[in-house]
């Protein structure tokens, strides 16, 4: 199933996509968040005749797929071809960084270039959403903690990320730097999550082309690994790295400017479109 949130910022309704029709789930759950995400939600929806749920206008704004997650984590240098593009040694263990949850926005919201930024860059990524609370999760059990998958653009200010004396979080956390969605696709709907094509364009010109097969540390392992260091909670988002073609690696480098348009997509996970302001 494809779960989404639609409506104006701060007033989104939970919804489900039914053969292209957006149907209102607010009679079933209050929101798609840490209190509702999990197997119980899937089982409840499976018992419904969703064709009888009220239809919502397809022109409504789509919000972030998850409301107020406790953690929004990123994995750095996790695609083989991206690491080679940057001429960097492959990480022996996953590189984990945080994106502030205040960076989260909808899949078609404007990208706001932050004040004093000169190196705002793009990264198309596949993310997964945690479905239940876990600590020290074994690799054998890890898949049962994954609720579903979604599209994320990990916008990044490269000067702040690399040159401002601190964690990557500085360059990853500005407002609108974390668009999530358009929907969460529950894991039962995707036969092979490691064979999905990924792409990102700027002003209609292809910048990134990749495939999830190039992921170094797979999602089950990332779930188990991250849970060694922190308790994972329902609704947590972990975004897993990007293929080659980021602006910072171009010669000369290219960064986003006001008036440009960024579009990105992943097979089966939908697409995003962001006007740069």
pLDDT, one tens digit per residue, over 172-185 is: 999 999 999 999 99
Counting the structural domains of the chain, the total is 1
How does the average pLDDT of the chain come out, rounded?
Answer: 96
Cα angle vertex 31, ends 149, 199, to 5°? Answer: 25
Whether residue 20 lies inside any domain: the answer is: no
Residue labelled with tokens 């704004």 = 61
The model's pLDDT over 220-275, given as tens digits with 9 standing for 90+, comes to 999 999 999 999 999 999 999 999 999 999 999 999 999 999 999 999 999 999 99
Q: Quote the CA–CA distance of 36 and 41 in Å, as a whole number.
A: 6
- What is the predicted pLDDT for the residue at 273? 98
* Domain hosting residue 217, numbered range: 63-275
Whether residue 239 lies inside any domain: the answer is: yes
The CATH number of whichever domain residue 250 belongs to comes to 3.90.850.10
Whether residue 260 lies inside any domain: the answer is: yes
Whether residue 104 lies inside any domain: the answer is: yes
DSSP 196-227: -EEEEEETTEEEEEEEGGGBSS-HHHHHHHHH
Whether residue 252 lies inside any domain: the answer is: yes
Q: Give the pLDDT band (50/70/90) at residue 80.
A: confident
The model's pLDDT over 97-118, given as tens digits with 9 standing for 90+, comes to 999 999 999 999 999 999 999 9
Q: Quote the CA–CA distance of 223 and 60 in Å, as a whole number.
A: 33
**136 token code pair:** 């020290």
How many beta carbons lie within 10 A of that of residue 191, not counting itself? Answer: 7
Whether residue 267 lies inside any domain: the answer is: yes
Whether residue 10 lies inside any domain: the answer is: no
Name, in order, each residue with C-beta under 8 angstroms of 199's C-beta and a sequence gap of 6 or more: 124, 206, 208, 209, 210, 264, 265, 266
């Amino acid at each position: 199933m494809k779960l989404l949130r639609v409506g104006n910022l701060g007033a989104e309704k939970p919804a489900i996509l039914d053969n292209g029709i957006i149907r209102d789930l607010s009679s079933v759950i209050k929101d798609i968040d840490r209190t509702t995400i999990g197997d119980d939600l899937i089982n409840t929806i499976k018992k419904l005749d969703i064709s009888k749920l009220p239809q919502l206008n397809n022109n409504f704004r789509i919000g972030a797929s998850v409301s107020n997650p406790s953690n929004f984590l990123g994995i750095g240098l996790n695609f083989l071809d991206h690491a080679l593009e940057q001429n960097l040694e492959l990480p022996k263990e996953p590189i984990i960084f945080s994106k502030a949850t205040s960076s989260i926005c909808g899949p078609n919201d404007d990208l706001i270039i932050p004040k004093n930024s000169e190196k705002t860059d793009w990264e198309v990524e596949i993310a997964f959403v945690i479905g239940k609370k876990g600590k020290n999760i074994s690799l054998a059990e890890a898949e049962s903690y994954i609720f579903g998958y979604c599209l994320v653009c990990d916008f990044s200010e490269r000067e702040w990320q690399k040159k401002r004396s601190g964690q990557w979080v500085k360059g990853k956390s500005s407002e609108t730097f974390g668009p999530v969605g358009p929907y969460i696709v529950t894991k039962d709907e995707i036969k092979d999550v490691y064979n999905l094509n990924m792409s990102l364009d700027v002003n209609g010109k292809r910048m990134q082309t990749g495939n999830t097969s190039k992921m170094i540390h797979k999602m089950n392992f990332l779930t188990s690994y991250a849970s060694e260091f922190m308790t994972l909670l329902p609704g947590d988002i972990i975004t897993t790295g990007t293929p080659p073609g980021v602006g910072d690696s171009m010669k000369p480098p290219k960064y986003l400017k006001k008036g440009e348009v960024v579009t990105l997509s992943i097979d089966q996970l939908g697409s995003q479109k962001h006007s740069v302001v």
